[in-house]
Amino acid sequence: MVTSRDVARLAGVSQSTVSYVMSGRRSISPETRRRVESAIAELAFQPNAGARALKSQRTRVIGLVVPFGPDADTSGLLPFIETIAHCAREQDHDILLVTRDEGSAGLTRLAARSLCDAVVLMDIETHDARIPVAAGLAVPVILIGLPAEPLGLPCVDLDFERAGRLAVEHLAATGHDRIVLIGHPRPTVAREVNFVGRFRRGATAAAAAHGVPCTVVDQPERGPRGVSAALDEALGCGEPSPGGRLGVVVHDTEAVQPVLTAAAGRGRLPGRDLSVVGLCPDVLAEGTTPPVTNVSLEPRDVSRRAMRTLFRLLDPGGAGPVAPVELISPRLTRRRTTLTG
Amino acid sequence: MVTSRDVARLAGVSQSTVSYVMSGRRSISPETRRRVESAIAELAFQPNAGARALKSQRTRVIGLVVPFGPDADTSGLLPFIETIAHCAREQDHDILLVTRDEGSAGLTRLAARSLCDAVVLMDIETHDARIPVAAGLAVPVILIGLPAEPLGLPCVDLDFERAGRLAVEHLAATGHDRIVLIGHPRPTVAREVNFVGRFRRGATAAAAAHGVPCTVVDQPERGPRGVSAALDEALGCGEPSPGGRLGVVVHDTEAVQPVLTAAAGRGRLPGRDLSVVGLCPDVLAEGTTPPVTNVSLEPRDVSRRAMRTLFRLLDPGGAGPVAPVELISPRLTRRRTTLTG
DNA sequence: TTGAAAGCGCTACCAA
DNA sequence: TTGGTAGCGCTTTCAA
C-alpha cells in the first residue's frame, strides 16, 4: 500500500504538505506543488479511506436503503439507483447498499459504525416504522417518498396527486365518458405505500371535477391472474353508453403491459376500442405493444433532487434552508393507446 | 459517538478487554463478559468502521461493479444485486456500489483507497479492458461472466452453451423441423458480451446433432421495431414443410414478451401455431402472455456461488483451492408456448 | 511557505 | 484472566 508518507519522502517534503496539496487548504509554492503532484502521480497514490474517515469524521459514503425483499415494488428501481450513484460520484462520494429487509437495524448500523455521512431512504410507507429511527440518527437522512409524519426529515417524491389528475384530465379532454382506475395488487395496497392513496385522490378528484364517472378496481392478487380479474371487472363495470368511450388508467407499473395484452386478447384493442393510460417510465411506455399513453415517474428527476438536497445538508457552509417536501411534476405523453377524438 | 473507551469505562475494564469480548479472540471470565456485554447493550455500541478498517486492514466491504451505463443489459440485474447483497450481509459485510461507466478507474479506486476487501465484477465482455487491471489489484476479484482471458481471476457464470442446447433439444424432442434463433440487438452483439457466442454455439451444435435446420437472426436495432424485423425474418425464413413445426428460440431476455406479442399480432399464436422458448428468469416467464417455455438464467445461484467463492478467497485459514471457472446449469421449464406433440 | 506532532478509534502484542 | 500501549494513515493545529 502506498501512503502519504511515501509520497512525502519521494517529493522531499513533509507528510502534512502532501495532505495540504491534496486538500488545497493552504497555499503551496508552485515548485513544491509540482514535486508533490508528480510524486502522487508516480506512485499512483490515493488516500486510505479508513484513515481519512477516522480523522476527518467524513466517510464520503452515502448509505442507500433499497426496497429489496418480499413483495417490494422493484420495477423501475434501477433508474433510481443509477442516478443516485451517478450524483454521488459527481461529488466523489460512494454508495453503500443496504436492503430494506434489515429494517431499522440497517439504519442504526450505518450511523453507529460511521459507515456513511448521510442516508437515502427509499420506498417509504405511509406509517413507516423506520422514520422515527431515521429521524434520530446522527447523520442527515432524506426520504424518497412521503410518509404521514416525516418527523422533520426532508422528502422528495413524484407529485402523485398531479399524476392522477393528469391521466384523468387527458381522458376527459379526449371525450371519454367512463373511467376505470386499475390499482395495485392487494398486498401492495395493504402495505400502504402512500402514493397509492395520493394517485387515487388526484384521479378521482379530477374525474369529479369533470363530471366523468370513475371507479377504482384493485388486483385481487399479484401476477397476470390478478390483472385479468381486475380488467374483467373494469370492462364489466358498466359499458359506456352506446357509442361512448371507456378510459382505463393503470396505476400499477407492472400491470401496464399485462392490461394491454389482456384487453387485446378480449378483442378490445387499446387505442381502437378503449383508451389506456399507464403510470410508468417513458422507456417502458415506448416498449409496450402498442406504445401506451403514459404519465412518467421521473425517477431521474426525483433522484437528482434528492441528492441535491442531501449534499446541501452535508455542505458545512451552505446550510441553506431545505424544503421539507419537494414534489416533482410528472409529464403525460400521448402515444397509441388514446382514442382519437 | 460511542467508543469502546466509553464501554470500557462503564464496564470497569480496559479497552482491550472490550475488543477481545467482541472478537472472541481470547478467553474472558464469565463475569467480565457479562459486564462488558451489558455495557455494550446499554450504550448501543458498534465499532467505528474506519478505525477498525485502519487497524485490521479489513473493511468488511465488498465492491460490486454493476453494468449501469449506456446500452447495458440491465434487465434481470436486480436479482443479482439482491442476492449478492444478501450473501454479503450474512457474513456481516456490506456492498459498495460502483458503476461500469467508471471503467478501470473504479477498480483502482476501490483498491488504492482500501475501500473494500474484495470485488465482484459483472457484465464481463469477451475482451474486457478491465480484466488486466482487475488482475493486478491487491484484493481478490471474482468475475460474473467469462472473458476470453481471465488472467487467473475466478469466473462464475451460467452455462450458456448448455442453455442453448437445452432450448434446441426441447424443440427437437417435441417434433419441430425448423428452428430460428432470435438474438440480441446489434449494439449488444457488437459489445461482444461473450454469452452471445456461447449460447449460439450450444444451440447450433445441438440442432446439427439432431439434424434440424437452424438459422440465427439478430435484431437490427434496439426496441420493438428491432424485434418486429427479426420476427418477420424468422417467420419468412422458410416455412416448415406443410404441416411442419417451427420453433423460435429467443436469446434476448428483453425481447421475449415482444416476440410473443408480435407473433400473436401476426396471427401466429405461440403454443398453437409455433413454439417459442425464451432465455429469461422464471419470474418473467410466468408473467408473459402466454406463459413462455423458458430456460432460466439462475441469477441467484450464480450470485450465491460467486459470493461463496469470494468469501473462500477472503478466508485467511481456508485458502482451499478455488475452481477457475464455475458454470451453473440452467433449467428448462415447459409452459404454454410449446406445441404439444 | 513549510514541518512536527497529536490524535481520530480500534486491534493485537507484550507484560503481568 | 486482564491491562497497558503502540501504531494503522490521515488531517490539522501549533511552531518556525
Q: In which band, very low, low, confident or very high, does the pLDDT at B120 lie, cut at 50, 70 and 90?
A: very high
Residues A230 and A311 in one domain: no
Q: Is residue B150 part of a domain?
A: yes
| Phi, psi of A303, deg, nearest 5 | -65, -45
Residue B195, pLDDT score: 87
Contacts with B, A 20-79, CB within 8 Å: 44-54, 59, 61, 64, 68, 74, 77-78
Residues B164 and B286 in one domain: yes
Convert the pLDDT of each residue in A212-227 to its tens digit.
999 999 999 887 788 9
At position A280, the amino acid (one-letter code) is C
Angstrom distance (rounded) from CA A285 to CA A291: 6
Q: Is residue A340 part of a domain?
A: no
Q: Is residue A13 part of a domain?
A: yes
How far in angstroms lies nucleotide C10's C1' from the CA of residue B30? 23
Residues A321 and A308 in one domain: yes
Distance from CA of A131 to the nearest CA of B (A): 19
Q: How many CB pairs under 8 A join A and B?
A: 129
Q: Is residue B336 part of a domain?
A: no
Average of pLDDT values for A298-327? 90
Q: Is residue B87 part of a domain?
A: yes
Sheet holding A118-121, edge to edge: A325-328, A155-158, A141-144, A118-121, A61-66, A94-99, B94-99, B61-66, B118-121, B141-144, B155-158, B325-328
Residues A218 and A313 in one domain: no
| Minimal Cβ distance to B82: which of A68, A95, A224 | A68
Decide: CB of B25 under 7 A of nucleic strand C.
yes
Convert the pLDDT of each residue in A237-268 to its tens digit.
655 566 789 999 999 998 998 899 889 888 89
Residues A76 and A136 in one domain: yes
Residue A238, pLDDT score: 56
Angstrom distance (rounded) from CA B90 to CA A213: 52
Average of pLDDT values for B273-282? 95
- Domains contained in chain B, number: 3
How far in angstroms lies nucleotide C15's C1' from the CA of residue A300? 60
CA A305 to chain centre: 10
Residues B138 and B173 in one domain: no
The candidate with the shortest Cα–Cα distance to A142, out of A111, A125, A165, A119, is A119
**Cβ(B4)–Cβ(B18) below 8 Å:** yes
Name the residue closest to D3, CA to C1'.
Answer: B14
Q: Is residue B52 part of a domain?
A: no
A202 CB near a chain B CB, below 8 Å?
A: no
Residue B289, pLDDT score: 80
A97 CB near a chain B CB, below 8 Å?
A: yes
**Is 60 exceeded by the pLDDT of residue B71?**
yes
Instruction: Say which CATH number the domain at B30 has.
Output: 1.10.260.40
CB contact under 8 A, A109 and B46: yes
Residues B218 and B308 in one domain: no
Residues B36 and B153 in one domain: no
A331 CB near a chain B CB, below 8 Å?
A: no
**Is 80 exceeded by the pLDDT of residue A183?**
yes
Residues B68 and B129 in one domain: yes
Instruction: Say which CATH number the domain at B200 has.
Output: 3.40.50.2300
Residues A75 and A181 in one domain: no
Query: What pTM was estimated for this model as a whole?
Result: 0.93
Decide: CB of A28 under 7 A of nucleic strand C.
yes
**Is 90 exceeded by the pLDDT of residue B80?**
yes
Select the more confidently predicted residue: A152 or B319. Answer: A152
Residues A80 and A194 in one domain: no
| Phi, psi of B41, deg, nearest 5 | -65, -45
Q: In which band, very low, low, confident or very high, does the pLDDT at A28 lie, cut at 50, 70 and 90?
A: very high
Q: Which domain holds residue B154?
A: 61-158+300-328
Mean pLDDT of chain B: 93
Q: Is residue B340 part of a domain?
A: no
DSSP H helical ranges for A103-222: 104-112, 130-135, 160-173, 186-191, 195-210
Residues B244 and B234 in one domain: yes
**Is 70 exceeded by the pLDDT of residue B237?**
no
Decide: CB of B54 under 7 A of nucleic strand C.
yes
**Is 70 exceeded by the pLDDT of residue A297?**
yes
Q: Is residue B54 part of a domain?
A: no
Residue B242, pLDDT score: 67
